[in-house]
Structure 1
Amino acid sequence: MTYRQLLVPTDGSEISGRAVAQAVDLAAALGARVRFLHVQNNYPISLVGVGEMVEASTIEALVEAASRRAEAILQDAMATAAKAGVEAEQVVLMNPLPHRAILEEASAAGCDLIVMGSHGRRGLEGLLIGSETQRVLLASTCPVLVVR
């Protein structure tokens, strides 16, 4: 099977950076396109239990900072693709469940491979915190390449 459209979720972490590099190298070798995805939570921090204690301007500032961070993460990924001569696009989605956003985007964009990093959480930490990569692996209808 030849992959033509790769979806690459990235959160700006070191492991995501390695997934970006691997995806770009693979896309260059296959003549494929890359779609970089950054998923933001509705709020950049949990505000549960805080309620009225946080001013609206503070929330707006946090959302704006998260948007700037997302743009910087995606610009870095786009620069990696451009340097390799790989055609790429970027998208930011708001969703409190990143794995769901990844799966929906892969389907909507017609991606035939998801390339993503794994933070390697195992044991009790993996059980308690969970793994977005694991959730994508379990539910994806297309192949998933996991980079460590």
Structure 2
Amino acid sequence: MYRNILVPTDGSDITSKAVQTAISLAKTFGAKLSTISVKEPFPYSAISEMQPVPPQEFYDAQERIAASRVKAVIEAAADQGLSCEGHTVEALHPWEAITDYAKSQECDLIVMASHGRRGVSALLLGSETQKVLTHCAVPILVIK
């Protein structure tokens, strides 16, 4: 049924439920599993002298955080005997990175949490999840 499943991760507790569901589905259908974590771009401002963190230090920290999130998904998949490809992507809007990645990798299912680190910012679904649902042509399984 599904051959290429994507599970975005932000390291939140609810995301771990989505990861476990994606792993289970990938095993059941013999599907390829991929994960991505979206890094925030450097918050440039007009007054660069007032930046508390230098750009390279910010980028390095973002990469470490995103890479550790991806690694956790890869390890969870490996614990279940499944391989998983992991990527980190920089984007201003995580939903755009998720939809672009799903399209470019020809994913046929996205498994994602109903909300993530930003909390419940919408009544029913997190804003990033809602935007993926709105803008992505790929079927999406939302985990609460």
Q: TM-score, normalised by structure 2?
A: 0.88
2:59 is matched with which residue? 63
**Letter aligned with residue 51 of structure 1:** S
CA distance in 1, matches of 2:31, 2:47: 46
1:142 is matched with which residue? 138
Alignment of 1:73-84 (within 5 A): 73-84=69-80
Specify which of 25, 43, 48 is matched with residue 51 of structure 1.
48
1:45-99 superposed Cα distances (whole Å, 9 cap, x missing partner): x4546532126x6332222111111111111100011111122101111110111
Q: CA deviation at 1:33?
A: 1.1
Q: CA deviation at 1:118?
A: 1.3
2:18 is matched with which residue? 19
Answer whether contact 1:3 1:112 (CA < 8 A) is retained: yes
CA distance in 1, matches of 2:105, 2:71: 20
Aligned residues: 139
SS of equivalent residue, structure 1 residue 73: helix
Answer whether contact 1:24 1:34 (CA < 8 A) is retained: yes
Q: CA deviation at 1:42?
A: 1.1
- Unaligned segments of structure 1, at least 5 residues: none
CA distance in 2, matches of 1:18, 1:34: 15
RMSD, aligned α-carbons: 1.9
SS of equivalent residue, structure 1 residue 126: coil
CA distance in 2, matches of 1:112, 1:59: 36
Q: TM-score, normalised by structure 1?
A: 0.86
**Identical positions, percent:** 37
- Unaligned segments of structure 2, at least 5 residues: none
Q: CA deviation at 1:106?
A: 0.4
SS of equivalent residue, structure 1 residue 42: coil
1:112-144 superposed Cα distances (whole Å, 9 cap, x missing partner): 0000001272xxx428xx600000011111110
Answer whether contact 1:115 1:147 (CA < 8 A) is retained: yes
**Letter aligned with residue 86 of structure 1:** L
1:28 is matched with which residue? 27
Say which structure is richer in helix.
1
SS of equivalent residue, structure 2 residue 69: helix
